[in-house]
Amino acid sequence: MRGAAIRRTSRDIRSDSMVDVLHAVLSAGETTRNEIARKTGLSAATVVTVAGELIDRGIIVETKTTAGQVGRPTAMLAINVERGRVVGLDVAETYVRGVMFDTALNPLVQIERAHDENLQDPDSIVEAIGAVLDDLLVQQGVGRDSVLGVGISLPGLIQEPGGVAVVVPNWEWRSVELEHLRERVGFPLVIDNPLKAMVAAELWLGRGRSASSMATVNLGTGVGAGIVLQGQVLRGATNSAGEWGHSLLVLDGRLCRCGRRGCVEAYIGVPGIQETLRELAPDHPLADVGRQRDFIMELAAAASDEGGDGAARETVNRTAYFLGSALADLVAIVNPEVITLTGWTTWALGDLLVPSAGRRMREQSPGHAGTSLDLEVSAVRGNPVASGIAMIALERSLVDAGLLTSRIPVAL
Amino acid sequence: MRGAAIRRTSRDIRSDSMVDVLHAVLSAGETTRNEIARKTGLSAATVVTVAGELIDRGIIVETKTTAGQVGRPTAMLAINVERGRVVGLDVAETYVRGVMFDTALNPLVQIERAHDENLQDPDSIVEAIGAVLDDLLVQQGVGRDSVLGVGISLPGLIQEPGGVAVVVPNWEWRSVELEHLRERVGFPLVIDNPLKAMVAAELWLGRGRSASSMATVNLGTGVGAGIVLQGQVLRGATNSAGEWGHSLLVLDGRLCRCGRRGCVEAYIGVPGIQETLRELAPDHPLADVGRQRDFIMELAAAASDEGGDGAARETVNRTAYFLGSALADLVAIVNPEVITLTGWTTWALGDLLVPSAGRRMREQSPGHAGTSLDLEVSAVRGNPVASGIAMIALERSLVDAGLLTSRIPVAL
């Protein structure tokens, strides 16, 4: 094999160690070389070598030296937050939300700009993205040369034989529009879809610290899952893995906004939860609340109240039943170690949903797959889509700097 | 990194190349070094090195030399079938089926022994397994030293923190029983569950030649899926990945034999298909056919007949509808490149089911995941569970010989 071209090289192995060390430093905030070795399973010698290279390249720094237990001083390591900035942009059908982060993924400033969901013109959306990015730079007062990279999460991003494309009801962007986007941004750019961004955040900043297989489920208007198997984000043949929100819950059931019937999303997406309430109590005052976020907040308040609102409580119970049933399908197929919940329905209703949804999930999981399976509200707060896509951009900047070899499969 | 202990080594890289070369030779039957390089994407130099080592170790042989197009002779390579024998045992709740193979996975002899499905005593099942193995050796007239390894597929094999266990309705085998089994067999042994064995067969002998992500769905009394992602069998946290047969098709639907309601298996497992017929035509003569295999054969014959049997045809149509709907859930979650169908319901009904189940699957798959997705009857015939587990045993023998580093995660 000596000298022959093979697809996985010793550079990849070195890169894997580097990712492990970065992961350990990033998740700990401040840590020591010994602690990194313990957490990653790498040898002490490897950690010393890798940390040395990351320090030489300005990626991590020694923050202070403390007296060790046996009197020998121990250096603390942390991410070098002075190295630059990274931007994560969460682009949805109705808004662009941008967050600027330091290199330890601490959010520094956030900007949101709404746009009309019937907007079909890619140029206007590209311009809205560009404007949010410009505003972030101005508000933080940072020069363009301190931005290491920009990540953009685009809904409906898929992989095609000819490259990537964005396909959502009102948008159909192919290479021309994506090239235009790249020019407008003018920074090293990665794009991916929100489920992949969200699970990248969980992988780097949340439960991925300790579980090698997991799913992160987003609950909002739409619902979906990001899946990590053996430490890698599952993408699938067309970057569409994790579209659990459009798997079947009820054969020939409710009409989903995707046009099919009985999808999970038609029951546990916010419009689905509202429909459940209407089925139970057509005249309930919450049945007509127009804004989805208001509906969810008010439902959470009404269901938490021990007093009178039986219909609100029953709506939450049925939603938990639907959620637990649908999660069990995810368990049956991929058998993860842990499932976390994220998204704004989770922030409002998670504590009410988790106990009974978790019970139903474990009961419905085949064999012993549910026995030691945890269902948890994600510890990653803020905007996990923006943090996740920024994390992917940061990873890409390390690849471009020659430190990592990980390929980011879907990116301009 | 030099000299430091890291988890993935250059030996692993060399092992990956070796697996690729073996895969190419095994699937081609006879092939050339150039053709292997073309199929695997390895460099010509790597193929020469790896093939040389495999020839030195007696794993492959040069079968003949033919004149090349430009007059230079080209050597043909094939698996060395004289190297030994490997045995695959498919152990189910009602039978033990054993097949002896040569090292190119050609079946040489098969033996089946039925046992009572209410049998609860592990010793009797271990003895039945041992007896089938002894009979295979006698019938083939091979000495014990020519057996390179034995693979046993056991239903309900799961991974637990303390090791592996077998948990099916009437069996609960822990380490004692498994140790007993190992002693009775007396050969290098691997065990795994049938879904993993089945997809290992598809990976080595079927569609895995050309697709890096795929699912293989077994249709019989029970149903389930083996899943391969990026060339690796998906096992999950407890070796329970692929239990798609017990994912939901109809919330609160038919009672499944697993005790839950609405599972895929309750609709497309053979008893489920029989129930569909009974719902359509309670007095149909096929509604009372006792033996499942007879029922499926007669249903296939009745539904193929252009003449009168509307209920049989409608039963097949509904089964295809259920199957396509349930496959779309697998697509939504893991987004494979191809799905193959196997198992005895497939051999009988596959040609009737595939066109409409495939159409329904593609329609129900979210986004573009279904666009270029194929649904096919598997090309792996015979007993894919026995071939697959024998293949895993063969792989293990190459690991034991120091040629491969791939770990077989679930094995005694």
Higher pLDDT, A93 or A351: A351
Ramachandran angles phi, psi of B135, nearest 5°: -60, -40
In this structure, of A142-146, A329-333, B80-84, B175-179, the range with the lowest mean pLDDT score is: B175-179
| In the predicted structure, residue B404 carries a pLDDT above the cut 60 | yes
Spatial separation of the C-alpha atoms in residues B102 and B136, rounded to whole Å: 13
In this structure, of A86-90, B138-142, B261-265, the range with the lowest mean pLDDT score is: B138-142
Query: What is residue A398's three-state secondary structure?
Result: helix
Touching check for B361 and chain A: CB below 8 Å? no
| Distances from the Cα of A227 to the Cα of A194, A223, A330, angstroms | 12, 13, 10
Going by their DSSP bridges, the two strands A189-192 and A171-173 should be labelled as unpaired
Spatial separation of the C-alpha atoms in residues B322 and B245, rounded to whole Å: 12
In three state form, how does the secondary structure of B155-178 look?
CCEEEECCEEEEEECCEEECHHHH
Cross-chain Cβ contact A158/B367 below 8 Å: yes
What global pTM score does this model have?
0.88
| Distances from the Cα of A176 to the Cα of A126, A149, A408, B97, angstroms | 12, 21, 21, 58
Q: List, for residues B190-211, the tens digit of each pLDDT value.
A: 999 899 999 999 988 888 867 8
Confidence of residue B74 (pLDDT cuts 50, 70, 90): confident
Tokens of A191: 């794009």
Tokens 């399908």 correspond to A329
Spatial separation of the C-alpha atoms in residues B190 and B206, rounded to whole Å: 21
Residues of A in contact with B335 (CB under 8 A): 235-243
Q: List, for residues B301-359, the tens digit of each pLDDT value.
A: 999 987 779 999 999 999 999 999 999 999 999 999 999 999 999 999 999 999 999 99
Q: Measured between CB atoms, which of A232, A333, A371 is closest to B330?
A: A333
Going by their DSSP bridges, the two strands A163-168 and A171-173 should be labelled as antiparallel
In this structure, of A12-21, A130-139, B4-13, B225-234, the range with the lowest mean pLDDT score is: B4-13
| In the predicted structure, residue B411 carries a pLDDT above the cut 60 | no
Touching check for B196 and chain A: CB below 8 Å? no
| In the predicted structure, residue B164 carries a pLDDT above the cut 90 | no
In this structure, of A168-177, B274-283, B391-400, the range with the lowest mean pLDDT score is: A168-177
Spatial separation of the C-alpha atoms in residues B144 and B187, rounded to whole Å: 8
Residues of B in contact with A223 (CB under 8 A): none
B85-193+386-400: CATH architecture: 2-Layer Sandwich (3.30)
Strand extents, DSSP E, A115-264: 147-153, 157-160, 163-168, 171-173, 189-192, 214-219, 223-229, 232-233
Touching check for B115 and chain A: CB below 8 Å? no
Cross-chain Cβ contact A369/B45 below 8 Å: no
Confidence of residue A202 (pLDDT cuts 50, 70, 90): very high
Q: What is the dihedral of CA A349, A351, A357, A358, to 10 degrees?
A: 150
Taking CA atoms, what residue in B is nearest to A246? B366
Any idea which fold B207-379 has? Nucleotidyltransferase; domain 5 (3.30.420)
Confidence of residue A5 (pLDDT cuts 50, 70, 90): very low
**Boundaries of every domain in chain A:** 10-82, 84-198, 207-379
Spatial separation of the C-alpha atoms in residues A39 and A49, rounded to whole Å: 16
Taking CA atoms, what residue in B is nearest to A49? B1
| In the predicted structure, residue A342 carries a pLDDT above the cut 80 | yes
Spatial separation of the C-alpha atoms in residues A315 and A282, rounded to whole Å: 12
Using the CB atoms, write b or e for A161-192: b if 16+ within 10 Å.
eeebbbeeeebebeeebbeebbebbebbbbbb
Residues of B in contact with A46 (CB under 8 A): 1, 4-6
Nearest chain A CA: its distance from B378 CA (Å): 19
Q: List, for residues B238-260, the tens digit of each pLDDT value.
A: 888 999 999 999 999 999 998 99
Confidence of residue A20 (pLDDT cuts 50, 70, 90): confident
Spatial separation of the C-alpha atoms in residues B195 and B154, rounded to whole Å: 10
Tokens of B221: 């009394």
Confidence of residue A409 (pLDDT cuts 50, 70, 90): low
The stretch A325-349 carries a mean pLDDT of 95
Taking Cα atoms as reference points, which of A239, A103, A105, A87 lies closest to residue A152?
A: A87
Q: List, for residues A354-367, the tens digit of each pLDDT value.
A: 999 999 999 999 88
The kind and range of the H/E element at A379 are none
Which B residues in the span 197-226 are in contact with A, Cβ-Cβ below 8 Å?
A: 213, 225
pLDDT at res. A407: 56
Q: How far is CA B193 from the centre of its chain?
A: 9
pLDDT at res. A223: 95
B179 near B114, Cβ under 8 Å? no
| In the predicted structure, residue A411 carries a pLDDT above the cut 80 | no
Going by their DSSP bridges, the two strands A85-91 and A147-153 should be labelled as parallel
Give the number of other CB atoms < 10 A from CB of residue B27. 15
Residue A32 exposed, middle or buried by CB count within 10 Å (0-12, 13-18, 19+)? middle
- The reply to whether A84-198 shares the fold of A10-82 is no
A216 near A225, Cβ under 8 Å? yes
The sheet with strand B30-31 has its strands ordered as: B30-31, B73-79, B60-67
pLDDT at res. B5: 27
Touching check for A17 and chain B: CB below 8 Å? yes
| In the predicted structure, residue A38 carries a pLDDT above the cut 60 | yes
Spatial separation of the C-alpha atoms in residues A155 and B33, rounded to whole Å: 45
The residues, any chain, with a CB within 8 Å of residue B59's CB and separated by 6 or more, are: B22, B79, B80, B83, B103, B398, B403
Higher pLDDT, A14 or A30: A30
Touching check for A168 and chain B: CB below 8 Å? no
Q: List, for residues A231-266, the tens digit of each pLDDT value.
A: 788 888 888 899 999 999 999 999 999 899 999 999
Touching check for A101 and chain B: CB below 8 Å? no
Greatest mean pLDDT among A399-408, B183-192, B228-237, B403-412 lies in B183-192
Return the CATH number of the domain spanning residue range B10-79. 1.10.10.10
pLDDT at res. A79: 95
| In the predicted structure, residue A225 carries a pLDDT above the cut 60 | yes
> What superfamily in CATH does domain A84-198 come from?
ATPase, nucleotide binding domain (3.30.420.40)
Q: Measured between CB atoms, which of B43, B240, B247 is closest to A329?
A: B247
Greatest mean pLDDT among B15-24, B60-69, B235-244, B264-273 lies in B264-273
Q: Say yes or no: domain A10-82 is CATH 1.10.3720.10.
A: no
Higher pLDDT, B119 or A319: A319
Residue by residue, DSSP assigns B37-63 as: HHHH---HHHHHHHHHHHHHTTSEEEE
Q: List, for residues A165-201, the tens digit of each pLDDT value.
A: 887 767 788 877 888 999 999 999 999 989 999 999 9
Tell me what the pLDDT averaged over chain A comes to: 88
Touching check for A6 and chain B: CB below 8 Å? yes
Q: List, for residues B85-108, the tens digit of each pLDDT value.
A: 999 999 988 889 999 999 999 999
Which B residues in the span 121-150 are in contact with A, Cβ-Cβ below 8 Å?
A: none
Higher pLDDT, B94 or A140: A140
Confidence of residue B412 (pLDDT cuts 50, 70, 90): very low
Spatial separation of the C-alpha atoms in residues B133 and B140, rounded to whole Å: 11
In this structure, of A61-75, B14-28, B248-262, the range with the lowest mean pLDDT score is: A61-75
pLDDT at res. A368: 80
Which region holds residue A186: left if phi is over 0, alpha if psi is between -120 and 50, else beta?
left
The stretch B61-78 carries a mean pLDDT of 81
